[in-house]
Structure 1
Amino acid sequence: MRVLVVGSNGMLGRDLMSTLVQTEYTVFGLDIPQIDITRQHELSGVVRDLSPALIINCAAYTAVDKAEQETELAFSINRDGSANLATVCHDQGIPLIHISTDYVFDGTGRRPYRESDPASPIGVYGRSKWEGEEGVRDHLREHLIVRTAWLYGVQGNNFVKTILRLSREKERIRVVADQFGCPTWARDLAEGLARMATLISDDPASVQWGTYHFCGQGQTTWHGFAEAIVAEGRRREELKVQQVVPVTTAEYPTPAARPSWSVLDCRKLEENFGIVPRPWQTGLSEMMEELYRGDFPRQ
């Protein structure tokens, strides 16, 4: 099977590429400027030339705070680009796996969100991703939309690397303690996507198309996540930080509002694909081990 990963230079895209190249698939990874999902005509030609049997879309505008000012750009990529890709897939008979986010929910719930729960995004980023989901649904039946949360990895900038950097620089760091979610290692998600691709390849008639959740098993707060990162870091180096101070969202304002509850229910994924995400603590430990081996930059 020929698989095209769109957005292959991002954090998830890189882990997905390294995961897929270990399979029997022929894998192509494209990113800007080789492919631009906001330009449908050019996109159609690129896809036609490669003739993949499956496309996995990791391309997205993910700057949550900047999206409040760069609204047009966020919607152009997350909404229009996703719909363009789904249209091209429909026209060329290609199934699509599309990555989405917990930000489609407003965070007012107090049980894990199910795929069937109504979306109610509270910021530009969340709205643009939700409308992108709808564009995929409107244009392509053979799709899998995979929502994830609190994604981190050895590639790119993310919360884990930020906490490690601050822990080397400061004795006290302040972290929000009233937002709850499920930290997800990009490598774990990549391996889940690879397993979904295998089912599409091996038995496409059995695939239950639709929307799924994938995130690290268990829940914590950003503060709890930060404490775990510091503990993992201390096993590997001497850190300056002495205290991780819990603060409220009100004490740490950001341009874009964050959902206070981003816990996702992943049971549908297990029921239809047999995929059970690992505990988030396990993913964090393995990611830190990989980071400290020196294969990837720490900053």
Structure 2
Amino acid sequence: MKILITGANGMLAKDLIQILENQRYLVVGKTHQDLDITNKDSVIKVLKQENPDIVIQCAAYTKVDDAENNLNLARKINAKGCEIVAKACNEIASTMIYISTDYVFDGEKFSPYTTSDTPKPLNNYGLTKYEGELAVKNNCPKYYIVRTSWLYGKFGKNFVDTMLNLGTKYLNGEISELKVVDDQIGCPTWTKDLAQWIAKIIKNEPSYGVYHICGGGKASWCEFAKEIFKIKGMNVKVTPCTTEEFLRPAKRPHYSVMTPSFIIRPWQEGLAEYLQDGGQLS
């Protein structure tokens, strides 16, 4: 089976490439330089040349705050780009796997979101990712939409490594306080865990549709940070704060916990393994 992955330089894509190659799939990774998903002619040409059985759409505009001032660019990549890829997949009868986000929800439900809940994005990033979902549904009948949340992994900048850096500064006396938001609740997810579950979808071929794949359980960013320091044995005092104390251009949902579509291990176990592996590569 041949699998083509867009956005091949991204944090999730790099884990996917390693895991799928280890499972003996023929994997073709395409970076932005190799494949501009917003260029219709280029997409059709590349997909027809490669003729993959599956296309995993990892390419995306993921700068949540910047999207507030760059809606057109975010929409061009996350919505229009997905529409182009979806139509090309349909043309060559490929299955499309689209990576989406918990930010398609507004966080006002305050109980775990299921795949049947109606999205209602709060910010432009979530809006354009949801538009991407609709583009996939409307243009490629053979699709899996995989919503995930709070990703971290060794191949990109992430919350875990930011906390470790700040924790070290705290212990060295470079900063006197470490405040972390405590009123946003979600599901921390290791990219390697997500990649392994996507590989299971490819292998098991469940019904086409929407799936939630995220770390089991829930946490606030503050609880997430405390668990990081606990596992690392770092005596760092984490001070809870509110979203209002740490204002960002893009609104975040206060509660974006999703009900996983599969029985997934607790997020703490994935975090412990990530930290045991050494975290981010230099």
TM-score above 0.5, yes or no: yes
1:49 shift after superposition: 0.9
- Asked if 1:54 is matched to 2:54, the reply is yes
In structure 2, what is the Cα distance between the partners aligned to 1:242 and 1:82? 42
Q: Report the counterpart of residue 204 of structure 1 in structure 2.
A: none
In structure 2, what is the Cα distance between the partners aligned to 1:68 and 1:169? 31
In structure 2, what is the Cα distance between the partners aligned to 1:136 and 1:45? 19
1:233 shift after superposition: 2.4
Long gaps (5+) in structure 2: 171-175
Q: Deviations over 1:167-201 (max 9, x none)?
A: 1112421000011011000000000001111123x
Q: Secondary structure at the match of 1:80?
A: helix
Q: Report the counterpart of residue 227 of structure 1 in structure 2.
A: 226
In structure 1, what is the Cα distance between the partners aligned to 2:120 and 2:183? 20
- Percent of residue pairs identical: 41
Q: Deviations over 1:92-116 (max 9, x none)?
A: 1101111000000000011100111
Q: Report the counterpart of residue 214 of structure 2 in structure 1.
A: 215
Q: Secondary structure at the match of 1:74?
A: helix
Is the 1:37–1:77 Cα contact (8 Å) retained in structure 2? yes
In structure 1, what is the Cα distance between the partners aligned to 2:135 and 2:77? 12
* Poorly superposed stretches of 4+, deviation over 2 Å: none
Is the 1:189–1:215 Cα contact (8 Å) retained in structure 2? yes
In structure 2, what is the Cα distance between the partners aligned to 1:12 and 1:62? 12
1:7 shift after superposition: 1.2
Match of 2:276 among 244, 268, 289: 289
Q: Report the counterpart of residue 242 of structure 1 in structure 2.
A: 236
RMSD (CA atoms): 1.2
Is the 2:229–2:236 Cα contact (8 Å) retained in structure 1? no
Q: Secondary structure at the match of 1:291?
A: coil
Letter in 2 for 1:290: D
1:242 shift after superposition: 3.4
Is the 1:179–1:222 Cα contact (8 Å) retained in structure 2? yes
- Asked if 1:262 is matched to 2:256, the reply is yes
Long gaps (5+) in structure 1: 201-206, 271-275
Is the 1:104–1:127 Cα contact (8 Å) retained in structure 2? yes
Q: Report the counterpart of residue 122 of structure 1 in structure 2.
A: 122
Q: Deviations over 1:234-287 (max 9, x none)?
A: 2xxxx5x63100001111111100000010011xx33xxxxx211100000000
In structure 2, what is the Cα distance between the partners aligned to 1:10 and 1:126? 19
Q: TM-score, normalised by structure 2?
A: 0.96
Q: Secondary structure at the match of 1:261?
A: coil
1:158 shift after superposition: 0.7
Q: Report the counterpart of residue 273 of structure 1 in structure 2.
A: none
1:208 shift after superposition: 0.9
Q: Secondary structure at the match of 1:155?
A: coil
Q: Secondary structure at the match of 1:62?
A: coil
Is the 1:154–1:290 Cα contact (8 Å) retained in structure 2? no
Quick check: 184-193 or 2-11, which moved more? 2-11
Letter in 1 for 2:115: E
In structure 2, what is the Cα distance between the partners aligned to 1:60 and 1:40? 16
Q: Report the counterpart of residue 278 of structure 1 in structure 2.
A: 265
Q: Report the counterpart of residue 25 of structure 1 in structure 2.
A: 25
In structure 2, what is the Cα distance between the partners aligned to 1:24 and 1:218? 32
Q: Deviations over 1:70-99 (max 9, x none)?
A: 111110110001111100001111011110
Q: Report the counterpart of residue 173 of structure 2 in structure 1.
A: none
Q: Secondary structure at the match of 1:100?
A: strand
Is the 2:111–2:257 Cα contact (8 Å) retained in structure 1? yes
Give the number of aligned pairs. 277
In structure 1, what is the Cα distance between the partners aligned to 2:57 and 2:187? 22
In structure 2, what is the Cα distance between the partners aligned to 1:251 and 1:296? 32
Q: Report the counterpart of residue 92 of structure 2 in structure 1.
A: 92
Quick check: 164-173 or 207-216, which moved more? 164-173
1:162 shift after superposition: 0.6
